[in-house]
Amino acid sequence: MSTIVERIGASIADLPAVDQHCHTLVPGWSLLADGDLPGLRRCFTEAVRPASLANDVAASTGYREFLRAIASFLGEGAGGPFDLEARVMRRRALVVGDEPDLYARRLFDDARISTLLMDTGYGSQAFTAAEFARTVDRPVRTVVRIESVAEGCLAAARQRSVTRLSFTEVFLEELDRTVAAGAVGFKSIAAYRAGLDLPEPSASQVAGAFRRLDRRAQARRLDDPVVIAHVVWTAARLAATRGLPLQFHVGFGDEDVHLPNADPSLLRPLLRAASTEECRVILLHNHPFVDQAAYLASVFPQVHVDLSLTIPLLGGAAAERAIASALALCPATKLLAGSDGHSYPEMHWRGMRLWREALGRVLAAEVAAGRMDEAEIEPIARGILAGNSERVYRLADEPPPLDLPSVSPRDGIAPQPPLGQ
């Protein structure tokens, strides 16, 4: 078995990878400081309470495995586990030196990342797509968070009245503006705000919701369930018309997520409706609903599956189980690789490196068991790592110059919220 794993690992080691779901870097990422604890700890937990960051992350499988992996990349011996974090941080500072961009590019080259699809909803102080692309020296395409656009529309109205019709008109205009600027898809975080049980509201329900709306509060954080549903269905219809995919956060996240409401099977009405069934849907993360997501991909032609946050947070063994579980029902042509990397380039590196390693082991096990022929491996892996995303997002289309900010330039547009919120 070990010989097969090594052989298959070598055969897919140099395949290009499209990171189809990630976020940008934060200013000062090269310093890696977050109070008395390394900033990287924040990337291995969805917890927001200080005690979790201080006590729990260091004991998690995903973080321990990451430290060993990045130590190897940096040329730092694994040594004893108790001081590994401190030694990695010291070694990183030496390697980064005064050439942080070169360091980031080395990481991305090592992970064979060719293109990144960046969720724009990461906060107004983060790198723009253009800044991110210049830092890592490879294409960065944008995926626009629809709730952030909706919040911006509410903020831009100021004291003017907002009705169902006026909001929808401006919302569609703003989404189309992002498409003209080069966006390759949309994303919804409805799972955080109202859950995924989103039956299409009637015109009278939406009109009533806007009459009652606390516009100032909703411009800061949109969570009205009727308006969220209206935003999702409106964006899905536009995406279907424009030929763009719509991503949904699914499953685990920070403590704002009520897990039963983040089950992708709740999206069934949207997937079956005639007005939205042509919208390609990407289900992101999916833990602990990988089986449900794979089922939906098996019965709805427009549904695709991503495991991005699941891979680095759960670590190698669980990553293999998640990929194997997804491939048990999800067609290999509909599984997409992504890192959910954010803040620090090590996270994009870790997510995509571990994706490739775990995928190789899963495919090697299939070959060893006689369930797959070795000749099938390379095309399947090439599709999952890059080809499927290139097809779904139509990445062959020439992008416009990345000289626009990731937040709408319309006066009064609110800053985009941080991850997941």
For residue 77, list its beta bridge partners. Answer: none
Which of these, 311, 314, 316, 287, lies nearest to 384 by C-alpha position?
311
pLDDT, tens only, 364-415: 999 999 999 999 999 999 999 999 999 999 998 877 665 544 333 333 333 3
Residues 6+ apart with CB under 8 A from 371: none
pTM confidence score? 0.93
pLDDT of residue 285: 97
pLDDT greater than 70 at residue 149: yes
pLDDT of residue 20: 98
Residue 91: CB atoms within 10 A of its CB come to 17
Q: Which has more confidence, 161 or 258?
A: 258
pLDDT, tens only, 12-51: 999 999 999 999 999 989 987 555 678 899 999 989 888 9
Mean pLDDT throughout 61-65?
Answer: 96
pLDDT of residue 102: 98
Share of the chain above pLDDT 90, in %: 83
pLDDT of residue 388: 98
Mean pLDDT throughout 1-22?
Answer: 93
> Rg of the chain's alpha carbons, rounded to an integer?
21
Pairing of strands 17-22, 113-119: parallel
pLDDT, tens only, 287-296: 999 999 999 9
SS3 122: coil
The token duo for 420 is: 């997941």
Mean of the per-residue pLDDT values of the chain: 92
CA 218 to each of CA 34, 133, 173, 272, 342: distance values in angstroms, whole numbers, following the listed order:
30, 32, 20, 29, 26
Our CA angle for 141, 145, 149, nearest 5°, is 115
Whole-angstrom Cα distance, residue 285 to residue 242?
25
pLDDT of residue 35: 54
Which of these, 175, 229, 163, lies nearest to 202 by C-alpha position?
229
Confidence of residue 124 (pLDDT cuts 50, 70, 90): low
